[in-house]
Amino acid sequence: MARPGGSRPSIGGQAVLEGVMMRGPRSWSVACRTPTGRIDVEHFPLPSAAQRHPLLRRPLVRGCYVLGESLYIGLRALMISANKALEDPEQEPGTAEVSQRQLGWSLGVALVLFSAVFIVLPVLATKGLSSLTGGALGDHAIYFNLVEGALRIGIFVAYLLFISRFDDIRRVFQYHGAEHKTIYAYENGDELVPAEIDRRYPTLHVRCGTNFLFIVLFLTIIANLAIDVFWGGSLGGRIGFRLLAIPVLAGFSYEVIKLASRREDGRAFKVAMLPGLALQRITTRPPTLDMIEVAIAAMQAVAPAHEIAPRADEETPGAPVA
């Protein structure tokens, strides 16, 4: 569904532990349901590096910057939600805050694990399969990259299916669904009423980050094929080129989605989003009404006040918002 008139600022989000992060045009927020049942909201300004440095707003470069900024904000939101989920009612708020150094180390470890599992492992596995077949895959760049790409996507889907079996992750996926439903309601100018949002809107959203990840995985197959055809190289060289290509592919994927989102009603856009929507059937679950209340609280913290449709009742049903 497109935004009415296409004039509303784009709001993005992310599910966290017992809550939702929403990112608006100038700020981002995290709303979490605490162990006491209260909705706690924290609100922050967006990093201003892009405003200070025009280079970061140029095509391709801005995609790399947005990816890095999104990883930082997303990880920080997860840390905040983890602190809230484990908060002791008798403990003074804010005493268990994660430091910037801890956040940096966590981000670094996450990037290393991502590279190892989704970049290095598929290359090594394909090389092993090639050895078992007498080097047949290694002699044909097309076959090698098709197998490597299939393994990479397979590992990604298997990972999502595996973690979805855990109760805590299923609840995160429910909050993911609450985030999408609430964003749909905002985009269509509806009152932010949990029951109405739940009844009217789906859990799948075309601008979900899952779609972005799938586009990156798909473009990786094409880019790696080009690298192997024109440069070839050893196993170490293949891995090195693939790691170096990540920022470029992220920047290009961002431009693809930004361009395609201007034509959301077009057939090409709908077809391109189908794989990502299919993956969202794993990463989203129908939320409860109290989860939608949390998503609404996060939305109200970042969306311009005049953009949110007024409600007939002043109070949000359920737990009070901090």
Predicted local confidence at residue 70, as pLDDT: 82
CA angle 43, 45, 48 (to 5 degrees): 165
Between 232 and 109, where is the model more confident? 109
Q: What is the mean pLDDT of residues 219-223?
A: 80
Mean pLDDT of 49-61: 72
Predicted TM-score (pTM) of the model is 0.80
In this predicted structure, the answer to whether residue 167 has a pLDDT above a threshold of 80 is yes
Residue 59 is classified by DSSP as: T
Q: How many CA atoms lie within 13 A of 126 on its CB side?
A: 27
For the ranges 57-61, 67-71, 81-85, 164-168, which has the lowest average pLDDT? 57-61
What phi and psi values does residue 95 have, to the nearest 5 degrees? -80, -10
193: helix, strand or coil: coil
